[in-house]
Amino acid sequence: MISYSKVCLDTFGYELPPRTLTSEDIENRLAEVYERLKLPQGRLELMSGIRERRLWPDGTRPSEAATMAGEAVFANGDIDRTAVECLIFTSVSRDMMEPATASFVHNALGLPCTCLIFDISNACLGFLDGMVMLANMIELGQVQNGLVVSGETAEELLESTIMALIDNRNLSRKTIKPAFASLTIGSGSVGLFMRKCGDAETKPKLVHGAWQANTAHSDLCHGNQAGGKSTLMETDSEELLHRGVETAHQTWKLFSSTPGWGAEDIDGFFCHQVGTAHARLLFDTLGLELDKNFETLASFGNVGSVSAPITLARAIEENVYRPGHKGALLGIGSGINCLMLGIEWGK
């Protein structure tokens, strides 16, 4: 477990892609596959709870998406970009293998040459891991502030998956299942400026955290290049659901063992948004009130590492999470990893 006393979550910013792709749109493209396999229309939204997801214009790079979120942070807060001391890029999506995608974001945002930059990759937990790394440096006095950004680009994965399903004449109801999770993915970007707390702090503070790794199940979700620029994923959604919730249960035991961080103490949960069945099983297993779960799933889909932080950002924007509240960020990533972070907003 970890604890902090000096770390402030100063300003969030995010960017929503301009295109909307509904679950009905996807099923219309897969109509011949649905007819051949006798799958009912509406199945995708019914099973996932996702009505639509957002997509960038073709060719948008992860660094460009993350840069838009960074600019939104600067627009939302009184922040001097020339004084930013650290930049961490945290997406599943990356521009290329080398150099670090953070280098493109750093240049596009016009950050100073004294700014420490690097990428963190840990599936859907990347942004929360970036928060922990930056918080550690702030707590130790190595930096006074920093920016965490993520820009997920789902377009290639969605298109590759749809085309692969259309082209595969040997599909069955069983063999189509590993592709289902790929149809729930959406695009988006988010950024967070964190800094050392002031003497009379008025912004939310990161104060608590716990994690668990359950890597015996690292074979349940794999994403790979499938030739050319085609990207495909195979996910055992049902087993990943149960093993992920199992890992979250162990993490919650650690997280909630700290006084003041039990289920009754927390006003809102801001989770990695995967699906409605996942949320129900997670909150039931952890013994939490589902009404405390703020959701963005229906409109955004699963936005990878962007999902949990953009959900918190929206909750702040809509005054659902506000001064006087305690909140918990909860992320589960393939691997399997789980990370929970406690945020306290003084009155």
Catalytic residues: 98, 124
Distance CA 40, CA 343 (A): 42
